Amino acid sequence: MQQENFSEQSGFSLVEILAVIAIVAVLASLAVVALLPVTRKARDTKRKADLAQAGKFLQAGSCFMPNAGAGEYDLKVLLDEFKIKYPQYASFISRAPKDPKTGSDAAANYRYIISDDGRKCALYANLENDGEPVTLTGLSQPTAGSGSGVLQGASAGWNGTDKYFQVSN
């Protein structure tokens, strides 16, 4: 009768398996860190596209004056009021766009400003990419009637940077 030799069994030791797991974890961490700036830029691109589209709709003829008058509003609240005032357009704006990072069903975190006379308005969002080039150099805060582009604000916003994108008439 021949005895089996257990020391010749093939397989991986516990140390080898733990080493592979550690290497995979390090590689995964590096990938996440490398992709973070790309993710921020992608969300900023979505913000710009959302605001450009909403800006065309809201500023097609003139600025929309909410019932509460001039001031600053969250886009979700503004569009809800717009759909009530103009139900014929409700099908075109079935869902309000919202910030891809901080927006929710209650607040879009896209903001709308309208002047006292109702002629000047702006939509704006806080960007995530701190390296975004500033195109509206004369502004330090989103301002109705001051053009469209990126501005550097006086303080950081809800997405962590002092860069804002606005669409304005």
- What is the average per-residue pLDDT within 112-130? 94
Closest CA to 120 of 96, 152, 142, 153: 142
Where are the domains positioned within the chain? 14-168
Per-residue model confidence as pLDDT tens digits over 147-156: 899 999 999 9
Per-residue model confidence as pLDDT tens digits over 17-68: 999 999 999 988 888 877 778 888 999 999 999 998 887 766 666 788 999 9
Using an 8 Å Cβ cutoff, are 78 and 71 in contact? Answer: no
Mean pLDDT over all residues of the chain?
A: 88
Using an 8 Å Cβ cutoff, are 169 and 57 in contact? Answer: no
> How many other C-beta atoms can be found within 10 angstroms of the C-beta atom of residue 8?
6
Closest CA to 43 of 97, 101, 96, 98: 101
In this structure, are strands 149-152 and 163-168 parallel, antiparallel, or unpaired?
Answer: antiparallel
Res 55: pLDDT: 79
| CA-angle at 164, arms to 161 and 167, nearest 5° | 165
Per-residue model confidence as pLDDT tens digits over 101-118: 999 989 999 999 999 999
Nearest-angstrom CA–CA distance, 136 and 124: 13
- pLDDT of residue 8 exceeding 70, the answer is no
- pLDDT of residue 98 exceeding 90, the answer is yes
